[in-house]
Amino acid sequence: MTDMQSNDDHSAAGSNSPNQSVVDRLVFAALREQTRARRWRIGFVIFFFVYLTVTTTMLFVKSEGSLTVGGEPDGEMHTAVVKLSGVIASDEEGGAATVIAGLQAAFEHEDTAAIVLEINSPGGSPVQAAYIYDEIVRLKQKHDSIPLYAVVVDIAASGGYFVAAAADRIYVNPSSLVGSIGVRMDAFGFVDLMEKIGVERRLLTAGKNKGLFDPFLPEQAEQKAHLQTMLNEVHQHFIKAVRDGRGERLQESEGIFSGLIWSGETAMNLGLVDAYGSTSSVARELGAEDIVDFTPHSGLLERIADRIGASVGHSISESLFVTPGLH
């Protein structure tokens, strides 16, 4: 009797073992998820407080717009340099806000003998370029004893040359690329492709021209003419800026405002630039060989805050888009 009961108990235990195994796995899985969630909460709290500490500190640190100006006045006259690099666009290194901040600091420094705007840009937004041009004109009038020279490194094309035209003199290398005095608008047309692959374009607008230059619709002559008129207007703004900046030095000839680009050597013959030179050679000519960089740079605290913010964002995205239990 005892043996039979023992065997029955063993059989019952054996029959429950698969269910028990499932229960154990569920319990352990739940514990793992709780541990993972707790770690995430702790990590998030740490990141949050570090980020809060850094950003709060930044509010109490006067960084002069995150601008490095090369030290306090020491009585030694220097050549101030502001670099315009890359595409001229809002929120970019070559944007108006950045370049103007550097120019203002350079003009206002009491030891500045002259300013070199070092340009290496293929162009960009005509509005951003015009902002810089107008500010250069204003600052030159306000500080008429401080000359401003443009030095072209590799290229000053389109908006890059627009800005350079405001300088008192423009220096280049014979192999620099200069010009591209024109305006462009890019678009593609996919109408035939849509027909070939059997896709129908459906577009609702309020205002007959709201779908202006839609790449999936046939080109309309009236809209094209309107855009061309607009481009011509902006082009005239560019031409006026060059004429005002260069004055009688400009040798107007056929094609000079057509959007062509020239070497520094040819640009010299066209009156688009004045002489060969680099930032250091210009500084030597001025007798102020001490070069101080006034180009705005992100401050250390700002860079740290950006990195921490990126880390927090990455952690949050991972926690939101990872399915529990599927690792």
**What's the rounded Cα separation, in Å, for the pair 32 and 38?**
10
Rg (CA), the chain: 32
- What residues have CB less than 8 Å from 304, skipping those under 6 apart? 54
Would the pTM count as exceeding 0.95?
no
The residue that leads in pLDDT, 99 or 300, is 99
Give the closest residue to 167 by CA, choosing from 303, 314, 277, 16: 277
All residues at 6 or more sequence positions from 68 whose CB lies less than 8 Å from its CB, including other chains: 293, 294, 295, 296, 297
* Identity of residue 303: R
Cα 194 from chain centre: 34
For residue 191, name the pLDDT band (cuts at 50, 70, 90): confident
When the pLDDT of each residue in the chain is averaged and rounded to a whole number, the result is 80
In the CATH scheme, what is the homologous superfamily, with its name and number, of domain 78-184+216-298? Answer: 2-enoyl-CoA Hydratase; Chain A, domain 1 (3.90.226.10)
Give the integer Cα–Cα distance in Å for 135 and 241: 13
Which sign, positive or negative, has the C-alpha torsion 240, 267, 134, 110?
negative
Confidence category of residue 146, pLDDT binned at 50, 70, 90 = very high
Q: Which has more pLDDT, 228 or 70?
A: 228
Label residue 38 exposed, middle or buried (CB < 10 Å: 0-12, 13-18, 19+). Answer: exposed
Secondary structure (3-state) at 313: helix
In the chain, the percentage of residues whose pLDDT exceeds 70 is: 71
Q: Comparing C-alpha atoms, which of 79, 65, 66, 83 is closest to residue 132?
A: 83
> Between 27 and 97, where is the model more confident?
97
Q: How far apart are CA 190 and CA 200, in angstroms?
A: 11
Mean pLDDT (whole number) for 236-263: 93
